[in-house]
Amino acid sequence: MSKHAYIFPGQGSQFTGMGKNLYENNMLAKELFEQANDILKFRISDIMFNGTEADLKQTNVTQPAVFLHSIIAFKTIENAKPDMVAGHSLGEFSALVANNTLRFEDALQLVSIRANAMQKACEVNPSTMAAVIALADEKVEEICAAIQQETNEVVVAANYNCPGQLVISGSIKAIEIACEKMKAAGAKRALVLPVGGAFHSPLMALAKDELATAIEATNFQTPVCPVYQNVVATAVSDAATIKQNLITQLTGAVKWSQSVQAMVADGATHFTEVGPGKVLQGLVQKIYKEAITDGVS
């Protein structure tokens, strides 16, 4: 039997005006936005609807904004009954609300704590990420490992987005060296991304402790359907395991390609991306050409 997967985007899919249509045309959406403004103690809805690109790029705004847009869009879908869920990085929090592991309010608090902790970690360790295009995953991993050994600088594979697209993460120096070596090894492109830090790398360890404390103190329920978590790329339904994987995710790789392959192996044929942008739909198509994809935003 074919299954319907709901997938949720991460940081990078934000845009000015996001969620405004939902706020203006849906009573439930308006209530949730106002509830979020109260929880966060600032009017994030104003920044989402009218802020500049620079306003939206601040991690402490971006992450709650993308989460909010995704979850409010999800809650306005009539009779949404996912057979499975997954989220890309930050999107995993949205996925955990969609499958009833987390309450909306608790997830928003965690996302806010995560964003602020990551912002602090970025300030302590200036670092960045780069996209490597058209080079085998194994080759990218091998080059990263060699650079770490030679320089003692951090550089690791961070986001396995789809075949031929892997994002690496690390210190500014190591990323610069890696980009040169990736191109020399035959990568079509190796390009530094406009991000403020080395997400999904050991350089986020500082943020991990703070997030771990908050996650441990939060109630996680048994989900109504499995979540395919970034760090393990398999179906998880045990609340305690979900917690642990969510903590590990901050310094661990996002195995998106492997997660989609696992969902397909478990019967997924239809993938609905919920939230801003269409990035994940594009990635799913590259991972599994026969997939039916659509979006709700």
- The SS3 call for residue 66 is helix
Contact 70, 94 (CB under 8 A): yes
Q: Is residue 216 part of a domain?
A: yes
| pLDDT over 90 at 70, yes or no | yes
Q: Is residue 188 part of a domain?
A: yes
Question: In this predicted model, what pLDDT tens digit does every residue of 192-229 receive, in sequence order?
Answer: 997 878 999 999 999 999 999 999 999 999 999 999 99
Mean pLDDT of the chain: 96
Question: In this predicted model, what pLDDT tens digit does every residue of 32-59 receive, in sequence order?
Answer: 999 999 999 999 999 999 999 889 988 8
Question: Residues 219, 100: one domain?
Answer: yes
pLDDT, residue 248, reads 97
Question: What does the block give as tokens for 283?
Answer: 């990635």
What is the tally of structural domains in the chain? Answer: 2
Average of pLDDT values for 232-249? Answer: 98
E-state strands within the chain: 3-8, 84-87, 127-133, 155-162, 165-171, 189-192, 227-228, 235-236, 268-274, 292-296
- The SS3 call for residue 224 is coil
Compute how many other C-beta atoms are within 10 angstroms of the C-beta atom of residue 213. Answer: 13
Question: Residues 143, 283: one domain?
Answer: no
Q: Is residue 243 part of a domain?
A: yes
Which residues have a catalytic role annotated?
A: 89, 200
Question: Where does a domain end: 144, 172, 192?
Answer: 192
Question: Residues 139, 80: one domain?
Answer: no
- When pLDDT is cut at 50, 70 and 90, the band that residue 131 belongs to is very high
Q: Is residue 197 part of a domain?
A: no
Question: Residues 143, 119: one domain?
Answer: no
pLDDT, residue 60, reads 86
> What is the H or E stretch that residue 75 is in?
helix 59-75
Question: Where does a domain end: 158, 173, 192?
Answer: 192
Q: Is residue 283 part of a domain?
A: yes
Question: In this predicted model, what pLDDT tens digit does every residue of 135-191 receive, in sequence order?
Answer: 999 999 999 999 999 999 999 999 999 999 999 999 999 999 999 999 999 999 999
pLDDT, residue 125, reads 86
Question: What does the block give as tokens for 154?
Answer: 């951090």
Question: Residues 116, 131: one domain?
Answer: no
Q: What is the CATH number of the domain that holds 269?
A: 3.40.366.10
Distance CA 19, CA 233 (A): 29
Task: Classify residue 203 by its DSSP letter.
Answer: G
pLDDT, residue 94, reads 98
Q: In degrees, to the nearest 5, what angle opens at C-alpha 156 toward C-alphas 151 and 161?
A: 155
Question: Where does a domain end: 192, 219, 245?
Answer: 192
Q: What is the CATH number of the domain that holds 154?
A: 3.30.70.250
Q: Is residue 249 part of a domain?
A: yes
| pLDDT over 90 at 12, yes or no | no
Question: Residues 141, 216: one domain?
Answer: no
Domain that holds residue 83: 3-123+202-296
Question: Residues 186, 225: one domain?
Answer: no
Question: Residues 119, 131: one domain?
Answer: no
Question: Residues 117, 165: one domain?
Answer: no
pLDDT, residue 291, reads 96
Residues in contact with 42: Cβ distance below 8 Å, sequence separation at least 6, in sequence order: none
Question: Residues 216, 268: one domain?
Answer: yes
Question: Residues 33, 180: one domain?
Answer: no
pLDDT, residue 57, reads 85
Question: Residues 68, 95: one domain?
Answer: yes
Question: In this predicted model, what pLDDT tens digit does every residue of 81-126 receive, in sequence order?
Answer: 999 999 999 999 999 999 999 999 999 999 999 999 999 998 888 8
Average of pLDDT values for 131-137? Answer: 97
pTM, rounded to two decimals: 0.95
Distance CA 233, CA 241 (A): 13
